[in-house]
Amino acid sequence: MKTRNFLLFIILCFSFILIFAGCLNKPTKPTPSPSPIAPLNPKIISISPDSGPSGTKITLLGSDFGAVQGTSQLVFKRGDNKTFVGEIITWSDMNIYARVPQLMKDTYKVFVIVNERLSNQVDFELKPVGSGTTCTQCGR
């Protein structure tokens, strides 16, 4: 009887070990991959200087401009919605150094287009040098 009880005990222990070991090796659910992060719109924090004549070198500080310019643009928009593109000197994700295009006296909305996404707008006041300044590109 003792031998029989001992064998039952061994079989019972062995069964628990197999069941317990089977629970530990259950396949786990795959971890879902993180959803892709939507690209952020570029943001201009400041423009310096915020006024000057055509040809003035300006610096834009901001974020999400992209590491390289590629097809991105710095745009000056006049009150009648006519736009002009700034001449880029250097471009990085947080800084743009550019030259103001040939423009007529006015206050322009300046913004950046990166991968078809528009930044916020900041003002730049064009102050022509001397009297009689003309601009062949402006249409005025």
Residue 3 inside a domain? The answer is: no
Mean residue pLDDT across the chain = 83
**Looking up tokens 């005025």, which residue turns up?**
140
Residue 21 inside a domain? The answer is: no
Query: How many Å apart are CA 123 and CA 25, to the nearest integer?
Result: 64
Residue 25's pLDDT is 56
Residue 65 inside a domain? The answer is: yes
Residue 131's pLDDT is 38
Residue 34 inside a domain? The answer is: no
Query: pLDDT for 58-68, tens place per residue?
Result: 999 999 999 99
Number of domains in the chain: 1
Lowest mean pLDDT among 43-52, 85-94, 100-109, 128-137: 128-137
What is the average per-residue pLDDT within 117-140? 72
Contact yes or no for 118/40 (Cβ under 8 A): no
Residue 129's pLDDT is 79
Residue 56 inside a domain? The answer is: yes
Residue 95's pLDDT is 98
What is the average per-residue pLDDT within 119-136? 75
Residue 20 inside a domain? The answer is: no
Query: pLDDT for 83-104, tens place per residue?
Result: 999 999 999 999 999 999 999 9
Residue 132's pLDDT is 42
What is the average per-residue pLDDT within 105-131? 92
Question: Got the DSSP string for 26-95?
Answer: PPPPPPPPPPPPPPPPPEEEEEESSEE-TT-EEEEEEE-S-SS-TT-EEEEE-TTS-EEE-EEEEE-SSE
Q: Which domain holds residue 75?
A: 43-126
Residue 134's pLDDT is 46
The CATH number covering residue 115 comes to 2.60.40.10
Residue 26's pLDDT is 57
Residue 74 inside a domain? The answer is: yes
Report strand pairing: 106-114 vs 95-99: unpaired
47 has a pLDDT exceeding 60: yes
Q: What is the largest CA-CA distance in the chain?
A: 120
Residue 93's pLDDT is 96
